[in-house]
Structure formats: structure tokens, C-alpha cells
Structure 1
Amino acid sequence: MPVDVPGVRGVLSPDLSDLMQGDEGAVIASVETYALAVPLTRPIADSTAAVDHWTVPVVEVRTRDGRVGTGISGVHTASELLCTVIDDYYAPSLLGASSEDILGTWNRLYWLPTHWIGRAGAVHMALAMVDIALWDLAAQRAGVPLWRLLGGTPEPVEAYNTDGGWLNFSQDELIRDLSSLLDRGWRRVKIKVGKPDWREDARRVRAVRAALGDDITLMCDANQRWDLSTANRIMPVLEETQMDWVEEPLHADDLDGHVTLQGSTSLDIAAGESIYNYQQFSGFIHHGAIRVVQADATRVGGVTEWLQVAAQASARGLRVAPHAGDMTQLHQHLVGTGLSPMAPLIEFIPWTQDAYVERSVVREGYLERPQAPGASTAIAPDARRNWQIRGVGAVRRT
């Protein structure tokens, strides 16, 4: 007799229904959410925000065999919104379902009524957290790190450092911090731009290039603070200082502006941390609006959608260099897992290293592949004891 499956169009035979259920031990028994406020060693600022901590929303998906898959995100604020979406809307659809049905779960959650209030932002980021947890479980069940499950190679991945170039630093502090990164083996660094007067950005960029020398790869990030007119004014300076890329120069939804700007400069335009789905990325890629695709698995719908975006970008010969809203923990598994003419590159920011059981390892500017089974997202017990935010999150069980 045919079986109706909620969220799946059509009718499935009993045999297919059994296949979707999968291993009895992989059935989801509980879903727990919480959030950590991880303190920074110093306050930092870009052109949009100033923070003294980084907030890590967490979901732990526990299966009947006792395994726990951990999904994470990274936000400036409002972690309770992501947790509430999971607690009140996603958990009822997860409990009793198979954690092995990753794509089916993605589609089922995406098309819940929450779709109509959040194809981007908090609702979609909550979906990403669940998806990451399921991939973490899949790698654990396979007994391999996620990068190996996805077909990646064990070679170290070149990284660039963002943590020395903040906008709240004076020019002298900026140069001193970046120079200290070079002393520790970094050869690629990124600085923030987006001052109220673009001329101040120009002075800072020129001073940094003069101090660091021509053999250091330098990127800059405006965090969407320029309009097209301002971007056009400063672009000759950025070309003069040989920026590797110019990140988020314009509003993230301004496709036409990105197309115009990318067509007017020899520099690569980068974007992606504020683009939330593969359909929107398709538009930017198809129209030649960017040359560096910075898809973030915590902003798009997790590993599942990130892989879709990365495949599109690689097929067009574009660079894939993910934004690290997760502070590198997950993305160290994702980069370099698909065919691409470009060498993999990953952003490194060390803020939340102490929050995880398995820390990222970087030597001389190269990130070493993790070796433990899973996605490196498991939270350290001390981190939860010390930094969990009161009143955020819940536990849902069958």
C-alpha cells in the first residue's frame, strides 16, 4: 500500500519509504540548541559593526545510537532567532526522521511555512546549522573527517589572515599588527576599508603596501559601505596598491552595480558572505559580477548548498574562497573538495578556537587538514560552561 511522506510530493512505495528511514540507529532522538558568547582578546571593528565577542549559535542533533552531530553558525547578535527557528519549527520535522537523509531533510525544512518569511537571513542560517550537524554525523558514521567523505585531498590548504587589519586600528597599529602576522609566517593578509571619507582609506592602503612590500598578497574588504561612485573613486588606488581582491564594495543585493564595477577594473571583485542561496549566486556568476566567490556554509543552507555554489563557481573558472563566519572550523573541510583550476584558499580568524574540541592548525600560512571523524564542530565542555548565553536555546526529544 502506498505511503504518504510529509514534505515529499507524490506517493512512495513501502520499499522506498524503508530506504528513506535508513539505519535505525541513525534516527534523530533529540535536538538541542544553545549559544556561546566567545570573548575576543581585543575589540575590533569593520565599517558595519564593532564587537568584543563573537556569538556562536549551536545545534546538537543526537541519534538513537548515541552519536551527536553539531551544527554551528556565527553572528554579531540575535542568536536566539536562529535557535528559535530550530526549536519551534525545524525540530518537530527532525525528530523521528533519519539523519542519513540529508538532501531530503534539507528540502523538507526549506519548504516549511518558515520559507515564506526567510529564504535568507536567520531562517536560512538555522537551516544551515541543521544541515552542518547532519554532515557531521555522516562523517562520524563513516569514521572519517568530512573533507575525506567529500573527496578532498590531504594536502594543507593555503590560508589568509583577516585578524590584523581592523578598521578601528590607527594606521600605526594597523601596520604593526599586519607586520606581526608576517613575522609568524603569513604571506596573505586582508585589511578593512570603508571609512566615512574614502581618502582616509586610500592613505591607509598606501601606507600598508609601503610597509609590507610588494611580495605580500593584500586584500581589502569594504563590508558593503561604498556606493558605485565612491568605489570608482578609490579603485585606481586599489589597483595601484595591487590588491588581490576588493571584497563587498557595494550593497550585497546590487547585482547591476557589481557587474558595472567588475567590468571597469582589472582587480577581482569578491562577494558572498551576504548572499544566502545558490540561486542568487547563480545570477552573480552568470552576469560576471564577481570573480571571487565567498560562499559561507553558515549563511547559505549549510554544506549541501555550499557544494552547489562551489560547483557553479568552479565550472566558470572562478575562485572559491569562503567567508569564515564559522571561524574556519567547518570550511577547512570544504575547500578543495571539487574540481577547480584554482588552488584552494581559506580565510582564517582565530577568535573561537577555544570553543571547539578540535582546534584548527595553521603553520606558516597553511592550514592542515583535520584528522578526527566529523566536521570539527563539536563544542568543548569548558566553552559551554564558561560562555553559554542564559535563556537562549532549548531541548526537544521524541
Structure 2
Amino acid sequence: MIITKVETFVLHVPITPPITDAINAASHWGLSGVNIHTDEGIVGCGYTGTCAHGDDMIVDTIERYYAPELIGKDPFMVKELWDSLRYGKMHWIGRAGITHMALAAVDIALWDIMAKAANRPLWQYLGGHKSKGIKAYNTNGGWLNWSTDRLLKDVTEIVEQGFTGVKIKVGKPDPHEDYERVKAVRQAIGDQTLFMIDVNQQWNVNTAMTWGKRLEEFNLFWLEEPLNPDDIMGHKKLADALNVPIAIGEHVYTKHAFRDYIHAGAIEYCQVDVTRVAGITEWLQVAGLAAAYDIPLCPHVGEMGQIHQHLVASTPGAFMLEYIPWIRHIFEEPATVKDGFYVLPERPGASTDIIPHYFNEYRVR
């Protein structure tokens, strides 16, 4: 099998209503992606996720620097291709961020090709671990721009739908307001529901230490991304001092950075995202590293769960997956949660094929 053509795309899918967290405001979710064609008629689709900003730089990287290196190559040599792109022409100017996210899209498309060629869903092609579905928690009711009334209505409905875990955003200018929202949510969902909070990097160490301690009374399952993601030592201080486990990974881009977090004792739940590390190839390496230290995985869904459902279903240390439904309607086999569990995909590939109608409707490049 040989790669014959590489086509990039950018989709902007509306988010209704628009949402905010402590550092982002989003009205659309961006898919910067690539369709890789082969001489056997199999087409692999891969993409990364954005807040609909910077997509042009990601696909420019694919078009100008990665695509020429792929033409004529065997997609089954995915790890060799990963190395050649990672340590190729773009290595000098970027070892994370834009170039890494571009590589993620390419790598995902290659794995999609291989699973399709094997006529297996990716989670089986990788070696299945969970045959009865994946426990899901829901983030889509806890946005920072929600009023308290809207927040409580949404998290209550999420629990009634069968989800056993909810996550809300914190990071208000006044942490007292965060405290009151967390208190209200815990009272609304009861003591048996897993409850996580996400700071989105908004606090410094002192704020996190003070309010992390105060919020312990609400039996939080984890405290997510409390600090700048480059501050490994700050996260270590929190991990040592707080009784709430620290979750990090959404903005950690490389296996080496995860290694340093793990060795420092600064991470207690690993949220490695396949669209931030350079695709499935590097995701699997991080998963192996976490497994060696018995650190549980629960990925951040920058691709909204389509690919991660396969990775979690094939990874022993991955125990749960985030659910955000913003873009699921555009896929031929959308990520689906029933009674609190992801229903495992059945079609060959990585569940990345997009319905043509929506591809054309949301395409901006």
C-alpha cells in the first residue's frame, strides 16, 4: 500500500450556545485535519481540535512540510514516518504546539488507514481491553459563563441521564464565587456522583493551595490544571499538600514532559490528549509510561472523544473518558454514550470519517 495524495481541511463547527472557561471563549470548535489517500482506495482521516483559531497554521504545516514527505510511502510504516516528520524540517522551529498538532492529525490518519485495511475498529486493531464499554463523565454542563441556576439544572440533568461523574469549570476572578458554585453543585448531585473541577490554569500556587484546601470538603475526585502546565514543581507542591488528586495533561505536548511530571510526583491522573501529543503513536508511549507508575489515564477530549474511545478501550490503565457532544453529529459513527457508558465503535477505522454534508457545510478551508 502506498500513499498517493494528501488533502487538508479546516472545519468550524458551531457551539450552541457559546461557552467560556477561565481562559477560553469559544463559539465554534475547529477541526484542522487531513485525508490521506492510498493506491488501494483506502482513505484515512485525522484531525486535531482547536477553539477555531490557528487552524491555518496547522494545515499549512501539513501541506508545505509533511505532505511531500508522505507521498509514495507505506502508511503501515507509521512509526518510521512519525520519526521522519518529528525530526525533519520543522524540528528546528517547533517541537510542540502547531507542528506537534499537525503531526497528530497525520498520525491519526495513518492509524485510521491501518485499522480500515485490517477491517477492524481501531480499539480492536490495537488489542482490545474493554469489551463492555467505557465509563463516561460529562463536562458539558459546567461552563463558567453559566449562571448558577443554569449550572445546577444542567448537572442535575446529566446525573439523571445516567452519567456517574460531572465536571465543572472554576477560575472566577473571586474564588469565593467558585466555592459557592462548587458547594451548590455537590448538594445538587449528591455524594455518590464523581465530581471534578477544572481551573484551566487560572490560579497561582498560593491561590491553589488556599482554595484547594478549602474545596477538599466537597470530596472532589480531582483538581484539574490548577496552574500553568509548564510549572511542574508547582504542581508537585500541590500534589504533596492537597488531599485532592491533581489531574493534568490537556496542555502537555510531549512524552518527555509527561515523563518529567511523573518523575516529579506532580501528576495523579494523566489526561494525555491524542491531539496535543503527536497522535496515536506518542499517546501510546505516554500510556505505557503512566502504566509503569500505576498512574490512571483519563484523556482530555480535544477531538471530542471519537479517537479516544478507541484508545481507552484498548488501554488497561485508562478507566474513564470525558464526554462533550459538540461535534458528534458530523461523524458517520458518532461517539455515543448510553446509560453512562461509551458504546464501543463497530466500524473499521478510528471513527474519524465525516458525513459529506457536514464536511461541506462547516468547511472554511
TM-score range, shorter chain: over 0.9
Deviations 1:286-326 (A, max 9, x none): 11101000000000010000000011112211110000000
Structure 1 residue 113: deviation in Å?
2.1
Q: Distance in 2 between matches of 1:336 and 1:58?
A: 23
C-alpha separation between the residues in 1 aligned to 2:202 and 2:316? Answer: 34
Q: Secondary structure at the match of 2:274?
A: coil
Offset of residue 199 of structure 1: 1.2
CA RMSD of aligned residues (A): 0.9
Instruction: Give the C-alpha shift of residue 236 in structure 1.
Output: 2.0
Mapping for residues 95-114 of structure 1, pairs under 5 Å? 95-114=71-90
Task: Measure, in 2, the Cα distance between the counterparts of 1:288 and 1:238.
Answer: 22
Identity %: 45
Question: Where does the alignment leave 5 or more consecutive residues of structure 1 unmatched?
Answer: 1-25, 393-398
Residue matched to 2:19: 44
1:80-101 alpha-carbon deviations (Å, 9 max, x no partner): 1110000000011001111110
Q: TM-score, normalised by structure 2?
A: 0.98
Q: 1:108 Cα shift?
A: 0.3
1: distance between equivalents of 2:66 and 2:31?
19
The one-letter code of the counterpart of 1:373 is P
> Residue in 1 aligned with 2:94?
118
Alignment partner, residue 339 of structure 2: 364
Q: What TM-score do you get using the length of structure 1 for normalisation? A: 0.90
Q: CA deviation at 1:361?
A: 1.6
**Aligned: 1:316 with 2:290:** no
**Shift in Å, 1:216:** 1.0
Give me the whole-angstrom Cα distance separating, in 1, the residues matched to 2:311 and 2:164.
22
Q: Matched residues in 2 for 1:367 and 1:105: separation?
A: 31
- Indicate the SS of the match to 1:359: coil
Distance 1:244 1:89 in 2: 42
CA contact (8 A) 2:209 2:242 kept: no
Displacement, 1:237?
A: 2.6
Tell me the distance in 1 between the aligned counterparts of 2:143 and 2:300: 16
Secondary structure at 1:82's aligned position in 2? Answer: helix
1:336 CA drift (Å)? 3.8
Q: Give the 3-state SS of the residue equivalent to 1:70 in structure 2.
A: strand
CA distance in 1, matches of 2:249, 2:58: 20
Q: Does 1:84 align with 2:60?
A: yes
Show CA shifts across 1:351-377 (max 9, x none): 001221111121111001100000000
> d(CA) in 1 for partners of 2:213 and 2:255?
32
| From 127, 135, 140, the counterpart of 2:103 | 127
Q: Does 1:238 align with 2:197?
A: no
Q: Answer yes or no: is the 8 Å Cα contact 2:12–2:30 preserved in 1.
A: yes
Aligned to 1:395: none
Q: CA deviation at 1:209?
A: 0.7
2:326 aligned residue (351, 365, 371): 351
Aligned match of 1:278: 255
Aligned to 2:117: 141
Size of the alignment, in residue pairs? 363
Q: 1:1-398 counterparts in 2 under 5 A?
A: 26-76=1-51, 77-153=53-129, 154-340=131-317, 344-389=319-364, 392=365
Q: Which residue type is aligned with residue 63 of structure 2?
A: D
Q: Read off the aligned partner of 1:349 and give its amino acid letter.
A: I
Residue 121 of structure 1 aligns with an amino acid whose one-letter code is G
Distance in 2, matches of 1:339 and 1:319, equals 9
Q: Is the 8 A contact 2:133 2:313 kept in 1?
A: no
Instruction: State the shift of 1:78 in Å.
Output: 1.1
Structure 2 distance, partners of 1:79, 1:338, is 30
CA drift at 1:233? 1.2
Aligned equivalents of 1:147 and 1:219: distance in 2? 27
Q: Return the alpha-carbon distance in structure 1 between the equivalents of residues 91 and 204 of structure 2.
A: 31
> How far apart, CA to CA, are the structure 2 residues paired with 1:269 and 1:246?
5
Q: What SS is found at the alignment partner of 2:305?
A: coil
Q: What is the SS of the residue equivalent to 2:66?
A: helix
Q: CA deviation at 1:122?
A: 0.7
Any idea what the Cα deviations from partners look like across 1:158-205, whole Å, max 9, x if unmatched?
010000000000111111111111121111000000111111111111
Structure 1 or 2, whichever has the larger Rg, is: 1
Structure 2: runs of 5 or more not aligned: none
